[in-house]
Amino acid sequence: MFGSITDVLDTIVVDSESVEEKAKATGYLKVCQTFEIAFILHLMRDILAITNELNESLQKKEQDIANAILLVKVVKKRLQDLRNEGWDSLIENVSAFCVKSRRKVAEYTISHHYRVEVFFKIIDWQLQELNDRFNEVRTDLLIGVACLNPVDSFSSFDIKNILRMAELYPDDFGENVMVTLRNQLETYIVDVCDVDKRFSNLKGLGDLSEMLVKVKKHLNYPLVFRLIKFALLLPVATATVERAFSAMKLIKSEL
């Protein structure tokens, strides 16, 4: 839409009867026709394209946490690849855009500035933000929650990942308790997946928790039920992640 935007601004400069509107449009037109704006637009288009699938995944009402975590790793790798190998193609695209639009292409020294102070810095910020918000502890927590989810007949159930999640709560799951938890998990999954058909069509952790209490199985598997309660509380602790991607959605759409 860049060409259309500049056409509209140019029309306002020529045809507007308001001096104030003419002045604003002239200023906007001058700024948006600089190499800097062309460079930033191309860079942000590439970065937002890389993060788009992850952004959409985290905005869904029904979270597929396991796939979301995999997407985080994919995004990190693609951003690192862009940082390592994407400069030449980016500057080539921006320069071609500027030539086509009759703008001045940046000199070498300016290009060096954009590479170090803008290109590297913005990508590093993105990577650091992802590392901070999806560090190893939070990743283990989220994967553990996904493994407890009863959707599709407990297809994501994985004792190893659930135990790794439990290890993050040493006050509640000591060394001796972990042995008991493993035994409970092994019995629990056979019970709710293969024996008790009342658990076959559950749609989330909330349904699972209610059903366990309803049929009094929370008394049979108290440690498993404790983990499920932790999993239900976890979204409160990770709300900052959702807010961050909500802000990204605002930048991508409304603005």
Mean pLDDT of 229-255: 63
Q: Is the pLDDT of residue 174 over 60?
A: yes
The Cα 154–Cα 187 span in angstroms is 14
At 1 the pLDDT is 82
Question: What residues contact residue 165 under an 8 Å CB cut-off, 6+ apart?
Answer: 140, 141, 143, 144, 145, 147, 227
Average pLDDT, the chain: 85
Mean pLDDT of 14-26: 90
User: Who has greater pLDDT, 85 or 107?
Assistant: 85
- Cα 254 from chain centroid? 19
The Cα 227–Cα 212 span in angstroms is 13
Structure token pair of residue 253: 């759409």
The Cα 38–Cα 15 span in angstroms is 26
pTM metric for this prediction: 0.63
Question: What residues contact residue 249 under an 8 Å CB cut-off, 6+ apart?
Answer: 55, 59
Query: Tokens 């930048």 correspond to what residue?
Result: 251
Question: What residues contact residue 26 under an 8 Å CB cut-off, 6+ apart?
Answer: 13
Q: Is the pLDDT of residue 242 over 80?
A: no
Mean pLDDT of 159-178: 90
Spans of all domains in the chain: 1-33, 45-134, 137-237
Mean pLDDT of 238-254: 59
The Cα 139–Cα 165 span in angstroms is 9
Mean pLDDT of 196-205: 87
Decide if 107 contacts 158 (C-beta within 8 A). Answer: no
- Cα 106 from chain centroid? 33
Tell me the percentage of the chain whose pLDDT exceeds 90: 39
pLDDT band at 184, cuts 50/70/90? very high
Q: Is the pLDDT of residue 238 over 60?
A: no
186 three-class SS: helix
Mean pLDDT of 164-177: 89
